[in-house]
Structure 1
Amino acid sequence: MPQLNPNPWLFIMFISWFTFSMIIQPKILTFVSTNPPSKKTLTAPTTTPWTWPWT
């Protein structure tokens, strides 16, 4: 069963995670968010109860 042979795939997995962690992720984190989170307090929406005609 060649799927269980970790010889080539383990190395590929480590190289891909290293590439993501050390090269791609810092470049992505340098981008500034175009919509920064606001410090606005959330208010609960006011709802009116539904009156069912058969009750």
Structure 2
Amino acid sequence: MRKTTTPPWKKPNPKGKKGQPLSTSQKEAARQRAEENGRAYPNLVDNMWAKTLPRGE
């Protein structure tokens, strides 16, 4: 059975780890996923999903 975990929006930011912003292709993928799910713009979960995609410029 799956363990219950804290949702990402309730977790503190990682300390000392500065991430890179999403690339243009990752942003477009997040926008497309949000649109397919009836949202006007990407949410945190869409952006986290897009971050796992390859970083093509």
**Same fold judged by TM-score > 0.5?**
no
The structure in which a higher percent of residues are helix is 1
Instruction: Please tell me whether Structure 1 or Structure 2 has the larger radius of gyration of its CA atoms.
Output: 1
Larger relative contact order (CA 8 Å, sep ≥ 6):
2
TM-score (norm 1): 0.29
TM-score (norm 2): 0.29
